[in-house]
Chain A
Amino acid sequence: MTIQFNTETFRDDYSFRNSDWAIKRFPFPFHEDSYMYSVNMEQHRGGPEGSVYEKRFDVDEHYVSEMQDRAIVLADDPLRCQSLPHMTLAGWDTLELIMVSKSEDYPDLFELHRDGNRWRWINKPMGIDHTFTFLDETTLPCGPLEYITRQAQGDYAVLDQRGDMLYMDAGMVTTQADWSLDFDIGMDFFEWHAPVPLAHEMGIFKRALKFLLNIQQGAPARRLNWTMTVNPLLDTSPENYHKWGIQKTSLTPENIGAKQHLRVELQTFYRLPRSNALLFPIRCYLIAFQDLVRIPKWGRRLHRVVRDLPDELATYKGFIANRPLMLDYLGRHDDGLPTSPGVWPDLDSEPPLQTQNDARSR
């Protein structure tokens, strides 16, 4: 299909919207009516047609607007993209992986023509037609990692692997759930996850690290993570928290459906061939509560998950203060009916929301 790219913003007037298509393919992260940490890895080898899992690097209606938002963030704060000196080769690996994947998966949008190390890259949605020499930084306007990730949705952490440990040694981070690349760059896997509560004690990170160290070339993996964001704000950075934090206090019973967003990260993991580094793309999807509850199963389930989440997690994810408001809203979209297993909307088989009238007439 040809994608109609939205003209929209993720700041100021927040004109971001999801089309019906985007709502139905939203990567809803809860496969059951409760949530607890787990490593929840699976292979990243495609998925159902049209789903966000189908392509290696999903491109959707928000592509052009998200790239414009990234450019704004970088102009404001260039430290959001950094690469320690030994990571340049991994940057080229990343550029190659994304260019090859996008040109193969979206031939109508992207083209890559290679003649030895002379490469021509065409990005139609962004109007780019550029010829450069692979592995020669002087032929790009910026480093290879920055060049390609200015053209690819989602954040990118590039992890060097040394002595059975992963180190966050490069990245492009402008759509993050409140962590700072500038602060965390150079840290090992346990260190950059240090602020996460409970999961260390549960052994989650030990198991996850073991899994990630063994990810091999040609066999990428994926998982989902989630949090909550008030307003469709992509750049929920610690750097700007003193500016956006106040928005968390702007929820009312009237505006919560439009303002409160579930924020889901589709995290994928690729072994990079030349550098042996691990590429960790973190793609952010946002959906307003009022759009999410249009899928009856998701409305029911989200209510139950938010209601039963341990306080530590609600605090860490930054919505403990807003939880009562959220439950008021979501509770009206939970009629207590059982939900089908798995993450899919199941619109054909799941019953619509039963109003109180429906319930009485039964």
Chain B
Amino acid sequence: MTKFQFPESIRSRPVYGTLEPRPGKAHLMIADAEGAEALLDLATREARLFAQGHIIYIPKTTGETYTQRLRDLGPAQFHVGPTYEASVPRIRRVLSDAHMGLQVYLAGTEGLMGQAQNEAMQAGIPHSAIQTEHRGSVARRMQCVHCKGITEDVVTDPFVCSHCGLNLFVRDHYSRRLAAFQGVCIDAEDPGNLPDPVELYT
């Protein structure tokens, strides 16, 4: 079970859907880890998409679990990258050449979807036209509002900023431009008085 139903939250918090086939001459699919399952599910709805599909997949800790099954979908292009960062030049290259009508499908962790969505937006696709489906970890990409540093894969609240070392609490306020949630100093009014970290969504 890799699907997680996020509780209802404030309006800036992204809401993820279920990938559905859409008309278009080209289909760019970017996924990490269990996000592969969302692409496999998409293929059960419309396998023909993949003939014009370009899959960029980052397995993270899932290793070889999904790669062969994704390859078997028969995408026109298939790329397995070691990290999201390593795949960014490729994503930018693909988007720079793309035409209106390109469909973008993102699946997996919030950090991956947020960053890839940002690349597609920069290329001129409105965010509302980019499909997303959450799978796997509920870890968050957090921006420290104080030093502006990004801490990846945050799983507890509060947490320590990996750049400036402040103790930050995890807000649901989310910036698409930064592809990050907001972290704010938790002990500013009572320095040193920290609650015990709690795992997110437990």
Mark A residues whose CB is within 8 Å of B: 79, 180, 182-187, 190-195, 200, 238-246, 248-249, 321
A183→B143 contact, CB < 8 A: yes
CB distance from B60 to the nearest CB of A (A): 27
CA distance A182 to B172 in the complex (A): 16
Contact with A along B175-202 (1 / 0, CB 8 A): 1111000101100111100000000000
**B177–A185 contact, CB under 8 A?**
yes
Give bound CA distance, A190 to B189, whole Å.
29
Is B13's CB within 8 Å of the partner chain A? Answer: yes
Contact of A184 among B175, B185, B188, B191 (CB under 8 A): B175
- B1-23 contacts to A, CB under 8 A, are 10-13
B166 contacts the other chain (CB 8 A): yes
Interface flag for B48 (CB, 8 Å): no
* Most chain A C-beta atoms within 10 Å of own C-beta, residue among B12, B148, B166, B184: B12
Shortest Cβ distance from residue A203 to the other chain B in the assembled complex, whole angstroms: 13
User: CB of B173 within 8 A of chain A?
Assistant: yes
Check B145 for interface membership: any CB of A closer than 8 A.
Answer: yes
Contact A194 B12 (CB under 8 A): yes
Q: Are B148 and A79 in contact (CB under 8 A)?
A: yes
- Taking beta carbons and an 8 Å cutoff, which residues of B are in contact with A? 10-13, 143, 145-146, 148, 166, 171-173, 175-178, 182, 184-185, 188-191
Query: Smallest distance from the beta carbon of B12 to chain A beta carbons, Å?
Result: 4
Q: Which residues of B contact A200 (CB under 8 A)?
A: 11
A-B contact pairs, 18 of them (CB 8 A): A183-B145, A183-B182, A185-B177, A186-B175, A187-B175, A192-B12, A193-B11, A195-B10, A195-B12, A200-B11, A238-B146, A240-B146, A241-B145, A241-B146, A241-B184, A241-B185, A243-B188, A246-B189
- A183 and B175: CB pair below 8 A? yes
Q: Is the interface of A mostly helix, strand, loop or mixed?
A: helix
Q: How far is it, in angstroms, between the C-alpha of A242 and the C-alpha of B165 when the chains are bound?
A: 12
**Residue from B13, B175, B190 with most neighbouring chain A CB atoms (10 Å):** B175
A196 CA to B148 CA, complexed, in Å: 23
- The one of B171, B177, B182, B185 that contacts A242, using a Cβ cutoff of 8 Å: B185
Q: Does more than half of chain B's interface fall in helix, strand or loop, or is it mixed?
A: loop
In contact, A194 and B11 (Cβ under 8 angstroms): yes
| Distance in angstroms between the alpha carbons of A200 and B10 in the assembled complex | 9
Q: Which residues of B contact A183 (CB under 8 A)?
A: 143, 145, 173, 175, 178, 182
Known: A183-B173, A183-B182, A186-B177. A245 touches B188 (CB 8 A): yes
Partner of B185, one of A182, A192, A194, A245: A245
Contact B148 A182 (CB under 8 A): yes
**Are A180 and B145 touching (Cβ within 8 A)?**
yes
What are the residues of chain A within 8 A of B166 when measuring CB–CB? 242
Q: Which residues of A contact B145 (CB under 8 A)?
A: 180, 183, 238-239, 241
Distance, CA A261 to CA B187, complexed state (A): 23
Chain B residues near A182 (CB-CB < 8 A): 148
4 nearest CB pairs, A to B: A245-B188, A194-B12, A194-B10, A242-B185
Tell me, rounded to whole Å, the shortest Cβ–Cβ distance linking A246 to chain B. Answer: 6
Q: How far is the CA of A244 from the CA of B189 in the complex (A)?
A: 8
Is the beta-carbon distance between A242 and B11 smaller than 8 angstroms? no
CB neighbours (8 Å) of B184 from chain A are 238, 241
Rounded to whole Å, the gap between the CB of B170 and the closest CB of chain A is 13
Contacts of A249 in B (CB 8 A): 189-190
C-alpha gap A192/B191 in the complex (Å): 28
Residue of A nearest to B185 (CB): A242
Q: Are A187 and B190 in contact (CB under 8 A)?
A: no
Task: Give A192 to B10 CA distance when docked, in angstroms.
Answer: 10
Q: How far is the CA of A280 from the CA of B70 in the complex (A)?
A: 49
- Cα distance A186–B114 in the bound complex, in angstroms: 14
Chain B residues positioned under 8 Å from A193 (CB to CB): 11
How far is the CB of A157 from the nearest CB of chain B, in Å?
15
Q: Which residue of B lies closest to A182 (CB)?
A: B148
Instruction: Pick the residue among B143, B176, B190 that contacts A186 (CB under 8 A).
Output: B176
Q: How far is the CB of A169 from chain B (nearest CB, A)?
A: 10
